Amino acid sequence: MNSRLIEEPPVPLYYKVKNDLKQKILNGVYKEGDLLPTEREICELYEVSRITVVKSLTELVNEGWINRRQGKGSFAAKPPEREAIASNIGFVTDKLELIAHPFFTGLVSAIKSELLEKDVGLLISTLEDGLWHTKLIKNKRVNGIISMTPQLNSQDIIELKHNREIPLVLLFNDRRDKDSISVNIDWKKGMSIAIQYLLKLGHTRIAFLQGNSAYAPDQEKLEGYRETLKDAGIEPDDSLIIETLYEKERVPELIQVFLDVLVPPTAFVCADDVLAEKTMRVLKEMGKNIPDDFSIIGFNDMEVASMVSPTLTTVRIPLEEVGRLSTQMLLKLMHGEAIVERQPLLQPELIIRESCGGDCKEYA
């Protein structure tokens, strides 16, 4: 697999240099009055020609980001004031259907709680709405964007990253992207601790109801699934891995596919709690007992996990912390403050309930 899955559209070199220097001024790397690197140093730093550097610096001068003093060099100016607009941030996600998903609603609730005391509004849009960019950014309805669009090749977000006119914080993006400001989860570790727990309970045939392989978090979960089994001396069986696209309506037919294999699974790990709850319900309708016949683990620790019977063992994602951190980071960017930790990686936690049986409480 190509190590760089995100194919970025071509961008003029001078534009890349200009926007990178602008972002450093905006983030406080270069504060007002600080001397910037010389033209020669910038040429070497970005591996570009002097003509490219001169064009970049000229545009920064014209836009008010730097001051040039004859014989002394270029100095960071005070970041230009944004036009007075309604104090709002935008939240952009992939599809309209995600807005009703419990994971999304929990995250948005955490963001709203952080914004409440700061008197800042939240406007929500999706990439499916072809006018989202015009509605939110061109019409200047928001001062910054939080984007939960974990598709590895989202051209909309790639272009938004290049256009650094508006502060942007990404959620759950490809962790190999080292340039963005983002908040992420160690999804791979989350899957690993789930598989390790099932292995301790004696399971070796573990089915995985995957989410969407186009999403970075789901690719990490799959890596965690495969690597943890291999570390235990178990070769992953591709017949025990099926992509659901998070469509719970497909679960009944997928469960039957799993049960029809030569050696059926004894445990199921699901990409989220909605799929896990549906898996539990389908198996019970077949006359199976949970956890005597099958163990089930979900992901995210949504409200449904503690409401089903038996209660669901799941991997808890710190959604409140994701909402709090991403909002705080975006507000700092909007006010031209520096971000100390640009890519915090939050840790998941295994929440052991009743759906796996056994007596491994000490694992938690």
Query: What domains appear along the chain, each with residue ranges and CATH number?
Result: 13-76 (1.10.10.10), 88-185+320-346 (3.40.50.2300), 187-318+350-363 (3.40.50.2300)
Phi/psi-derived region of residue 64, left when phi > 0, alpha when psi is between -120 and 50, beta in every other case: left
Query: Over 90: is that where the pLDDT of 58 sits?
Result: no
Residue with the two structure tokens 């272009």:
159
Looking at residue 321, what is its pLDDT? 95
159 against 50, higher pLDDT: 50
Average pLDDT over residues 223-247: 96
pLDDT tier at 12 (50, 70, 90 boundaries)? confident
Residue 360 pLDDT:
52
Q: Is pLDDT above 80 for 155?
A: no
Q: What average pLDDT does the chain have?
A: 86
Q: How far apart are CA 320 and CA 323, in angstroms?
A: 5
pLDDT of residue 356: 96
Query: Which pLDDT score, from 0 to 100, does residue 84 have?
Result: 42
pLDDT, one tens digit per residue, over 287-341 is 999 999 999 999 999 999 999 999 999 999 999 999 999 999 999 888 878 888 9
- pLDDT higher than 60, residue 9: no
Task: Tell me which range, 3-17, 152-166, 284-298, is most confidently predicted by mean pLDDT.
Answer: 284-298
Annotate 59-77 with b (16+ C-beta within 10 A) or e (fewer).
Answer: bbeeeebbbeeeeeebebb
**DSSP conformational letter for 304:** G
pLDDT tens-digit series, residues 249-282: 999 999 999 999 899 999 999 999 999 999 999 9
295-300 and 267-270 as β-strands: parallel, antiparallel, unpaired?
A: parallel
Q: Which residue has the higher pLDDT, 55 or 305?
A: 305
Residue 36, CA distances (Å) to 44, 45, 57, 61, 123 in order: 14, 12, 10, 13, 37
pLDDT confidence band for 176 (50 / 70 / 90) = confident
pLDDT value at residue 361: 53
Amino acid 139: pLDDT: 74
Check residue 164 and give its pLDDT: 65
Name which residue leads in pLDDT, 154 or 257.
257
pLDDT at 35: 92
Distance CA 355, CA 281 (A): 12
Rg (CA), the chain: 24
Q: What's the rounded mean pLDDT across residues 133-153?
A: 78
Predicted TM-score (pTM) of this structure: 0.75
Confirm if 91 and 52 have CB atoms less than 8 A apart: no
